Amino acid sequence: MTDNYAVVGNPIAHSLSPRIHGAFAAQTGQDIHYGRQLVEEGAFAAFARGFFASGGCGLNVTMPFKLDACDFADELTERARAAGAVNTLKKLHDGRVLGDNTDGAGLVSDIRDNLGWVIRDRRVLVLGAGGAARGVLLPLLAETPERIHIANRTVAKAEWLAKEFSADAEITAGGLEEFPCAFDLIINASSAGLSNEMPHLPEKILGENCKAYDMVYGAEPTPFMCWAKARGATVADGLGMLVGQAAESFFLWRGLRPDVAPILQQLRKELQNK
């Protein structure tokens, strides 16, 4: 019997999730159907109730419904509670719905496993203090960096986020002008990245052999990547994070970890040929 999954968002036509999960299913021999669903704002809970009531097994959730999905879930994983948002829902055997957030796991797996960059004992700078930053902090902390510094245009927001996670490690916060040190790894999780813009940053934040990661992706390097590369940093975009978070969702649903390398390679090739 075919198990039904879908990705929900608005807009949703651009989503690569059906393509990615279809490849995972073929690779692992799983009998699933994975669709995409456009849902109007305010209608998420009604759609999700109907989807699971009709036998649906799991949903991926993208903008603008990650907070709605968090409210909808009957139970949350630790990383979903830390993120305050849900991008994956799974129907449990007792009929309840589990909410998870796989974004941070996707980021870490891309940085650590695909790129071979080290997080442990490194000085990490996270640019931005919104949902994207919050969603990746717990998995980053699990890699035991030397420190994490959160920098945001609105300093109070960065300070509040740092305080939320300060029990787990040394986390500091500040604005975009003054920084406590140079960094080994810089992750752009800012809203500027989503709009293909570049926050104004001092060059001194780039440590020796610095790695710079932008959580967004596209056919061309982002402005942040171009800025960092021009100053000697090794750079990467977030396509591997996209595939990695999908693999983590697939594992939650099916109990199998797919090999992300072939689909990541194929998607990258297609992006470059556009």
Do 148 and 168 reside in the same domain of the chain? yes
Q: Are 90 and 254 in contact (CB under 8 A)?
A: no
206: CATH = 3.40.50.720
Q: Please tell me whether 29 is known to bind a ligand.
A: no
pLDDT recorded at residue 194? 61
Please state the domain count of the chain: 2
| Average pLDDT estimate for 154-159 | 96
Strand, coil or helix: 3:
strand
| Tokens (6 digits) for 7 | 């990705």
| Average pLDDT estimate for 29-58 | 97
Instruction: Encode pLDDT of 162-184 as tens digits.
Output: 999 887 678 999 999 999 999 99
Residue 147 belongs to what domain range? 104-236
Q: Please tell me whether 116 is known to bind a ligand.
A: no
Whether pLDDT at 114 is above 90: yes
Q: Please tell me whether 153 is known to bind a ligand.
A: yes
Largest CA distance in the chain: 58
Do 8 and 93 reside in the same domain of the chain? yes
57: CATH = 3.40.50.10860
Q: Please tell me whether 131 is known to bind a ligand.
A: yes
Residue 264 or residue 168, greater confidence: 264
Do 167 and 213 reside in the same domain of the chain? yes
Whether pLDDT at 133 is above 70: yes
Active site residue 269: no
Whether pLDDT at 198 is above 90: no
Do 95 and 139 reside in the same domain of the chain? no
